[in-house]
Chain A
Amino acid sequence: MRASSPCLLLLSGAVLTLLAAATTITDTIPILKAPEAFHEQLVLKPLNDGSVYSHFQFTTHIGTMMDDDHFDGAASNLFKHYNLFPRSIGQILHSFEVEELHLTFTQGRWQYSDWGYPLAPSAGTGVELWAWLNNDKRQIDEHWKGLTNTLSGLFCASLNFIDDTITTEPKLSFRNEGLYNTHSAPYISTHNDNNSTIPRKLRYGSLPHENVCTENLTPWIKLLPCKSKAGIASLLKSHKLFDTRFYSMAVHVRSVCEDEKCRVRSLELVQTITAVFDVARHDGSFDWSISSLFERQITQSCPLASTSKVIVNLPQTTEIENQYSLVPYPLQGIYSEGSGDKKQEVAVYDLKETFAETTTPFQLALHWEGSRPKSVRAITPGIVAHRYFTGFGQERGGLAIEIRNHDSQDIEAVFLDTLPWYLKLYLHTFSIQLNGKTLDNQRDLVQKMFYQPAVDRSRPAVLEMALKLPADSLVKFTVSFDKVFLKYTEHRPDANRGFDVGYAVLTAQLPREQGQIGYGGLDHLRIYQEREAGLVQGRRGGNSNQDKEKEGQEGVTDKIRVYTDTLLVSLPTPDFSMPYNVITMTCTVISLFFGSVFNLMMRNFEVVKPASSSKKNGSGKGKAEKTE
């Protein structure tokens, strides 16, 4: 690595000069083109229960000019030449006409009630893939199939199992995230809606029982400009990453606006890794350092990165001020936002600056005064959702969904649940309870409801509801179903394990609250990135001031998605060895004995004398006739 770094530096220098040249040229030409850029960022936060949350975010921008209505990579020569943007992703986007792509691999469960909401927008266990595809040529289903199969190959995952029986098209959830950021917030309301002329279509699929491992991480790292050779990505050691309480790895591609009127847009590739380390597992100590978490060090920043930052969300203690010490103390000092209970302090380390001064590896450690941080402010997430099966036995069952709203105001949310076809839902049994009492008038709570009944062996049941959750409430939905007796070839090899049923997703607009770990959704990250790291100050000019004003305003909301746990359903399972035994046994018995016994019962045995005359024969025949 040491040997290669000068080479890399040279290369990066060349690229940077090229980029600079490109920007100067584009400024003179009427076609606007934003520069290509790569940013790397690591957010660390000690959680309330002593775990440490780490969020890697790598953002690659590739500028383009688009016409008013839709993004067309081919027209703008976007996918002809690649510098920082990974070619494998670019080609996929190009050949399957993907407008927006979100792919997440997750292992473990996010504990909402302990940890708040994650910075990563997706947190459902397993693999989640959703994409907006261009449906100009009405080839969306082929494209989707191609997309899943190609990604399956690219990431060494079973994404090709997302077939028609799993794929859905949600009506309210998973809206377009592209062409939407702080600058274009008003733009979205007018343009990016159903009345838009762009024939985009959404496809959504998830695999709840997909295991995530090193084989998925390696191709993911390959998409980075510096791989894991330099910069923050050098911390990615799979041994440590997969031994965590929660691990999530994502690729998000979307187009975003670069100016106010959205004339300049860029294609954004965001790669995130989120991991929650249980630091107290072994010795009970809550102290941590970068080398203890990752067992690696950052020896240099990625030369290709425009920015390279490590951000620490400091724990908010309630009683005593300096319960912990951060080593080293950040050069720029500690930022703080909010006040009182919602105060959040942030320490920012700029690796570019750090490594400009010194070549020693970057160190960071947090030590607690006591053995256990007791006075850390508790987290109360606004919305928590749980889903579980009711009943027992293999014939029928029920599904219960509990949504708690801890917030002091009504919250609008969209609930999406996809259930496989082998659970036959009975919609007439659908009932809603509010704080333990059955609701007769559901209109106040459920404002819209979409239900797509399942079709055997071809599509799942989809239940989608726009909800208005009352303040401080517990809403409970219940519905009953029958379990289908599958054909015996449809059982998996591990038939007695049961079938995994994927999570339900609750999308909600939550009032922005400081002090929580994150707000779920890429947009916040972008804001965060821009403001804290001062990324695009020069490019944006005065816009960031506007943002800050907006931040201060009341009523600013963040879109979050809450994922429920996945479930296991046991369907009626035949004893696969028994029929086999019975069949072979019966067949043997029948084949051995049937013929002889049948013969003995029914055949007429008579002694035929060899030298018999025709007369005797005749009488014998006569006898036979008589007895018959």
Chain B
Amino acid sequence: MGLLSRLSKAQRQQIFGRFVLSWMPTLSYVMVAVSFFWLLALPHQDYSKRTYVSENALLPGSANVQFNWDDNLAAEAFRDTVQRIASLPSIERAQALEQQFAAIGLKSATQNYTLNTSTESLHGVNTYAVFYAPRSDGTEALVLSASWLSRDKTTNTNAISILLSLGKTFKRGSHFSKDIIFVVSDGEAEGLQAWLKAYHGNEESTYERHEEPLRVRSGAIQAALNLDFAGTGDYNALGIFFEGVNGQLPNLDMINTINLISMGIAPVELTLHDELVPYTDNMTKNYLNSLRKMLYQMKYQAVGTPTGNHGLYLKYKIDAITLYGIDRPGWHSHRFNLFRVGALLESTVRSLNNLLEHLHQSFFFYLLSDVRRYTSIGLYMPPVIILGVSFIFQALSLWGLSGDLPLELESIAEGDKTVPVALPYSRRSRNFKVASTTMGMAIVTGAATFHLLTTEFGLVGETPMLKLVASVGVCSMLVLSAVSTAHVRAQIIKSASNAQTTRAIHSDSKGGSTNSDKSHVVADQELTPAADWIMLKTLILALSALIVTTLSALNFSLAVSMGVLIVLPYMAFRPSRWTVVSIVEALILLAISPPGLMMVASWWYAKDPSEVLSWVLREYEILGTWLLPTACFIYWPLNLAAVIMVLLPVS
């Protein structure tokens, strides 16, 4: 017989049981340690590779740039115009810009939108213009967009003037295979969102959302560049923002293209985000810089907020990035003006124009530790999976514990030798009612909180913070009632079983058979089900494993941050005989509950908690980020159940 079949079923069960009960808990902690170390190793240089352009059709920087000194002068002239109209009301500003685009010879139009969230009412006007590529069939398009408001909260003057100037430059050429759409959006994200919705024919006309249908259209948008060049001055470096809504990322070739162009045809210093990092050979410093860049990316991904308006495109399967002009006086690199920016943009658009297919060659899942270094999904996924598996191992060992898995074999004499015979697989019945009820209640509470927060009741003095306080109240009621009920029930069962054991001892003394004694004890054990907290903890751990691994495929950063946050408390915490320990555990769990995390965030960013809450709500209502639903439907219920778990009687 082979390795497996050589052993009898009973022996296999024994090995498995021993592994589950004695090795698995240890192993799962080891795995957590491995996972943490792996995650921390990711920013190290040896784990990332240099980026490269994967799509051969792009040919970055191979075309001659047409943007010349006259275009630069035109851009500067447009800058004055933009400055003049920037202070006008939305509608007049948009119309003035529409005329500017029309004067260049592009088809232009404006779009009105209104968005009423539960807390505020937003209204604005977008301007857009289409350059119809001569000779093309108009099935494909590229978008160049800029918002009136820069991320510095100042007017995006340079970006809008370069758009106008580029429109003029493109008009001269006949080599474009794709139409180019210019969009100047109002507001922050909601303006571009309204335009994108209308472009894809999803415009709504209700009280909450109203988007005017578009009058000028083009084909399927293949890629987009969002420009953020605040003010009227020069810049030191170019920052790339790429994180989209809910952790979506554009194809890495978008960044690679800019990378090559910024090294060749339009030399500028390139960096990720708005942070300039001096070059260093020091390994520790390099590691820390990479770590900081990665954490920045993961922070935005986990929260689901885009780092710029480019993030909205990704939802529509359009690859997009934001280019941001960093003005850092005193920085050593050469300053550059609109002339360089124009050349860079034109070259990038020419390169994207070369695309024969939708961008698909390069990575869609990556972590960037530097603008030229990436970590691929093959390297960063294992730690999350290991984390998920450690949850599963812990849950399995608890499950074995609850069923009292047999670790020893019973030998039965059969003729001249003994044959190992298995004991029943589980000797205790598992009572799942309490665990499932608690979990169900917690999920219902979470859902109720979500609806409470997102619905407007029209009551006087109704604020999100008040609603959150109300739902925290409901949650604490739930915890209190569940815990007190469990304790009362435990008392009753205890007294009942005491009575039973006294009766059993009484009857034992009567019968007095040694052989039946052992079997009686076994039978007794079968009767007493596993403690409720064990069942509940098993359920929590199993659900956590499910959620962490599933989320890791959808939003890696969210899965990692959630997993890292909950893995140790959920695995290690259990009700203690000392009430103080239980309470400390419960307090720690409260600290990592959504309201607790909100308080931590508000302390960290020195903001009012209500501001943080309304920001989360706003992001959900305008952009549809997953943070609020995830917190309410998944994270909070698990947390509530965990709090209840540590407060349950030990029995």
A residues touching B (Cβ–Cβ < 8 Å)?
49, 107-109, 111, 125-126, 208-209, 242-247, 278, 281-282, 386, 388-394, 398, 400, 478, 494-498, 500, 565-568, 570, 573, 575, 599-604, 627
Q: A109-B138, A602-B2 are in contact. Are A390 and B202 (CB under 8 A)?
A: yes
Q: Which residues in A have their C-beta under 8 angstroms from that of B140?
A: 568
Which stretch in B355-363, B622-630, B637-645 binds the other chain?
A: B355-363
A625 vs chain B, min Cβ distance (A) = 13
Q: Mark B148-184, 1 if CB is under 8 A from A, else 0.
A: 0000000000000000000000011010000000000
Q: Can you report 17 residue pairs joining A to B where beta carbons are below 8 Å apart? A: A107-B135, A107-B137, A109-B138, A126-B137, A209-B139, A243-B135, A245-B132, A392-B317, A496-B358, A497-B357, A566-B137, A566-B138, A566-B139, A567-B220, A568-B140, A601-B4, A602-B4
Q: Mark B236-247, 1 if CB is under 8 A from A, else 0.
A: 000000000000
A565 vs chain B, min Cβ distance (A) = 5
Residue contact B135 to A244, C-beta cutoff 8 Å: yes
Residue contact B4 to A568, C-beta cutoff 8 Å: no
Interface residue from B4, B5, B105, B356 paired with A494 (Cβ < 8 Å)? B356
Inter-chain pairs besides A242-B135, A281-B171, 11 sampled, C-beta below 8 Å? A111-B132, A245-B135, A246-B134, A281-B172, A281-B174, A392-B315, A393-B317, A495-B357, A568-B140, A600-B2, A601-B5
Interface residue from B1, B201, B358 paired with A391 (Cβ < 8 Å)? B201
Interface residue from A109, A390, A394, A570 paired with B132 (Cβ < 8 Å)? A109
Closest Cβ neighbor of A575 among chain B residues = B360
Q: A108-B135, A281-B172, A565-B139 are in contact. Are A570 and B358 (CB under 8 A)?
A: yes
A124 vs chain B, min Cβ distance (A) = 10
Task: Give the size category of B's interface with A.
Answer: 20 to 34
Residue contact B1 to A627, C-beta cutoff 8 Å: yes
B591 vs chain A, min Cβ distance (A) = 40
Q: Which residues in A have their C-beta under 8 angstroms from that of B136?
A: 108-109
Q: Which residues in A have their C-beta under 8 angstroms from that of B1?
A: 602, 604, 627
Q: Which residues in B have their C-beta under 8 angstroms from that of A500?
A: 137, 139
Q: Which residues in A have their C-beta under 8 angstroms from that of B219?
A: 565, 567-568
Closest Cβ neighbor of A111 among chain B residues = B132
Given the complex of chains A and B, what is the CA–CA distance between A49 and B106 in angstroms? 10
Taking the complex as formed, is B3 at the interface, i.e. its CB lies under 8 A from any CB of chain A? yes
Interface residue from A390, A394, A575, A603 paired with B2 (Cβ < 8 Å)? A603
Interface members, chain B 80-138 (any A CB < 8 Å): 105, 132, 134-138
Residue contact B139 to A567, C-beta cutoff 8 Å: yes
Taking the complex as formed, is B23 at the interface, i.e. its CB lies under 8 A from any CB of chain A? no
Taking the complex as formed, is B217 at the interface, i.e. its CB lies under 8 A from any CB of chain A? yes
Taking the complex as formed, is B200 at the interface, i.e. its CB lies under 8 A from any CB of chain A? yes
Q: Mark B1-30, 1 if CB is under 8 A from A, else 0.
A: 111111000000000000000000000000
Q: Which residues in B have their C-beta under 8 angstroms from that of A281?
A: 171-172, 174
Taking the complex as formed, is B316 at the interface, i.e. its CB lies under 8 A from any CB of chain A? yes
Q: Which residues in B have their C-beta under 8 angstroms from that of A391?
A: 200-202
Q: Which residues in A have their C-beta under 8 angstroms from that of B360?
A: 496, 573, 575
Residue contact B357 to A496, C-beta cutoff 8 Å: yes
Residue contact B2 to A243, C-beta cutoff 8 Å: no
Residue contact B139 to A601, C-beta cutoff 8 Å: no
Given the complex of chains A and B, what is the CA–CA distance between A111 and B1 in angstroms? 81
Given the complex of chains A and B, what is the CA–CA distance between A400 and B214 in angstroms? 12
Given the complex of chains A and B, what is the CA–CA distance between A394 and B360 in angstroms? 14
**Count, A-B residue pairs, CB within 8 A:** 102
Given the complex of chains A and B, what is the CA–CA distance between A357 and B315 in angstroms? 69
Q: Which residues in B have their C-beta under 8 angstroms from that of A478?
A: 201
Of B3, B137, B356, B357, chain A has the most CB atoms within 10 Å of the CB of B137
A50 vs chain B, min Cβ distance (A) = 8
Q: Mark B308-350, 1 if CB is under 8 A from A, else 0.
A: 0000000111000000000000000000000000000000000
Closest Cβ neighbor of A106 among chain B residues = B137
Given the complex of chains A and B, what is the CA–CA distance between A389 and B220 in angstroms? 8
Interface residue from A108, A498, A599 paired with B358 (Cβ < 8 Å)? A498
Given the complex of chains A and B, what is the CA–CA distance between A604 and B201 in angstroms? 68
Residue contact A398 to B201, C-beta cutoff 8 Å: yes
Interface residue from B132, B172, B217 paired with A388 (Cβ < 8 Å)? B217
Closest Cβ neighbor of B136 among chain A residues = A108
Given the complex of chains A and B, what is the CA–CA distance between A603 and B2 in angstroms? 5
A563 vs chain B, min Cβ distance (A) = 11
Q: Which residues in B have their C-beta under 8 angstroms from that of A599?
A: 2
Given the complex of chains A and B, what is the CA–CA distance between A66 and B415 in angstroms? 113
A419 vs chain B, min Cβ distance (A) = 15
Q: Which residues in A have their C-beta under 8 angstroms from that of B138?
A: 109, 125, 565-566
Closest Cβ neighbor of A478 among chain B residues = B201
Q: Which residues in B have their C-beta under 8 angstroms from that of A498?
A: 220, 358
Q: Which residues in B have their C-beta under 8 angstroms from that of A398?
A: 201
Q: Which residues in B have their C-beta under 8 angstroms from that of A496?
A: 357-358, 360
B375 vs chain A, min Cβ distance (A) = 20
Closest Cβ neighbor of B55 among chain A residues = A496
Q: Which residues in A have their C-beta under 8 angstroms from that of B105?
A: 49
A16 vs chain B, min Cβ distance (A) = 41
Interface residue from A243, A244, A400, A567 paired with B201 (Cβ < 8 Å)? A400
Given the complex of chains A and B, what is the CA–CA distance between A494 and B56 in angstroms? 13
Interface members, chain B 171-217 (any A CB < 8 Å): 171-172, 174, 200-202, 217
Residue contact A125 to B174, C-beta cutoff 8 Å: no
Q: Which residues in B have their C-beta under 8 angstroms from that of A600?
A: 2-3
Interface residue from B4, B132, B137, B315 paired with A208 (Cβ < 8 Å)? B137
B111 vs chain A, min Cβ distance (A) = 15
Residue contact A602 to B174, C-beta cutoff 8 Å: no
B223 vs chain A, min Cβ distance (A) = 13
Given the complex of chains A and B, what is the CA–CA distance between A599 and B4 in angstroms? 11
Residue contact B174 to A278, C-beta cutoff 8 Å: yes
Residue contact B201 to A602, C-beta cutoff 8 Å: no
Interface residue from B3, B132, B139, B200 paired with A568 (Cβ < 8 Å)? B139
Residue contact B137 to A601, C-beta cutoff 8 Å: no
Q: Which residues in B have their C-beta under 8 angstroms from that of A111?
A: 132
Given the complex of chains A and B, what is the CA–CA distance between A391 and B203 in angstroms? 10
Q: Which residues in A have their C-beta under 8 angstroms from that of B5?
A: 601-602
Of A108, A389, A398, A495, chain B has the most CB atoms within 10 Å of the CB of A108
Given the complex of chains A and B, what is the CA–CA distance between A391 and B6 in angstroms? 60
Interface members, chain B 36-74 (any A CB < 8 Å): none
Q: A565-B139, A600-B3, A604-B2 are in contact. Are A392 and B316 (CB under 8 A)?
A: yes
What are the 4 A-B residue pairs with the smallest beta carbon separation, nearest first?
A390-B201, A496-B357, A568-B139, A245-B134
Q: Which residues in B have their C-beta under 8 angstroms from that of A107?
A: 135, 137
Of A208, A242, A245, chain B has the most CB atoms within 10 Å of the CB of A245
B331 vs chain A, min Cβ distance (A) = 40
B303 vs chain A, min Cβ distance (A) = 24
Of B132, B201, B202, B356, chain A has the most CB atoms within 10 Å of the CB of B201
Given the complex of chains A and B, what is the CA–CA distance between A604 and B6 in angstroms? 8
Q: Which residues in A have their C-beta under 8 angstroms from that of B139?
A: 209, 500, 565-568
Q: Which residues in B have their C-beta under 8 angstroms from that of A388?
A: 201, 217
Given the complex of chains A and B, what is the CA–CA distance between A478 and B2 in angstroms? 66
Residue contact B317 to A109, C-beta cutoff 8 Å: no
Closest Cβ neighbor of A124 among chain B residues = B137
Closest Cβ neighbor of A114 among chain B residues = B107
Of A282, A393, A394, A575, chain B has the most CB atoms within 10 Å of the CB of A393
Closest Cβ neighbor of B357 among chain A residues = A496
Given the complex of chains A and B, what is the CA–CA distance between A328 and B135 in angstroms? 32
Given the complex of chains A and B, what is the CA–CA distance between A246 and B137 in angstroms? 10
Closest Cβ neighbor of A568 among chain B residues = B139
Closest Cβ neighbor of A398 among chain B residues = B201
Closest Cβ neighbor of A209 among chain B residues = B137
Closest Cβ neighbor of B4 among chain A residues = A601
Closest Cβ neighbor of A628 among chain B residues = B1
Closest Cβ neighbor of A494 among chain B residues = B357
Residue contact A386 to B217, C-beta cutoff 8 Å: yes
Residue contact A570 to B137, C-beta cutoff 8 Å: no
Q: Which residues in A have their C-beta under 8 angstroms from that of B315?
A: 392
B102 vs chain A, min Cβ distance (A) = 11
A239 vs chain B, min Cβ distance (A) = 12
Closest Cβ neighbor of B135 among chain A residues = A108
